[in-house]
Amino acid sequence: MCPQLSNAVAVVTGGGRGIGEATCLRLAEDGATVVAVDVRGDDAEATAAAIERTDGEGEAIGLEADVADESAVESMAETVVDRFGRVDVLVNNAAIRVEPRPVTEADAESWDRILGVNLEGAAFCAKHLVPHMPEGGAVVNVASNGAAVGRPNWSQYDATKGALVSMTKDMACDHAPDGIRVNAVSPGWVITEYHLPDDEDEAEAFFAAKTAPHADGPGILKRAAEPREVADAIRFLASEEASFVTGTNLEVDGGVAAVGKGLEWDSLS
């Protein structure tokens, strides 16, 4: 089991934006030392700077790395260990999308890229960081409810996330003797920068509308999530509060996986 988060060194990939940024901020609130890793180095550094502005105790740094490049991951891991001596929490959040299409129209280049980031990237990070968890630790892989719910044209993305859920279970078996717990979270629709209009006022209105319950909203709760809501779930799985939880996949999707795309609003009244 990992130390208390107040003493933990946490590495979060895809930490420059969206769920990853929210996770970095959330872990820092509990006093963790946070390493935000992102292919966009400026975004990773901005996350670290935001943490330092809001938390006077926890240290934070931003590092640039493409998780699909094993040599870059190895270099990142060396930097983390040289600076902090160990790792306690790894959040494999980095992921990309490719243009949605059926497998009959998907080319080798898009398969190589999405598998490289979404699946191999998580494996590379675990390969080079998990061995530096001498006192045990926690790994949280960020999957998707697309691994559980069929939808047209998303075979490539959802295949990587389904494989990540499966890999999570096997990793849990592999590393339990070392005191390392491995779990996954599967978010549904989360409103991040990816979805927002460019205009600031329009973006604020869009975010408010989609994260509030509405008639055509997804799942049982009939709305999208805020990044913080997924970050809270990741924080739970990374903490001692989840000391008896391993090899599981936590659906954080407002009930989409339970019922499919959604229910008619009237059926909830």
Q: What phi, psi does 59 have (nearest 5°)? A: -80, 150
DSSP label of 134: B
Indicate which residue of 124, 154, 157, 189 is catalytic. 157
**20 in the Ramachandran plot: left (φ > 0), alpha (ψ -120 to 50) or beta?**
alpha
Residue 180: enclosing H or E segment and its boundaries? strand 180-187
Contact 166, 116 (CB under 8 A): no
Other C-beta atoms lying within 10 Å of the C-beta of residue 212: 11
Residue 194 annotated in active site = no
Rounded Cα distance, 249 and 238, in Å:
13
The pair of structure tokens assigned to 221 is: 């709760």
Catalytic residue numbers read 157
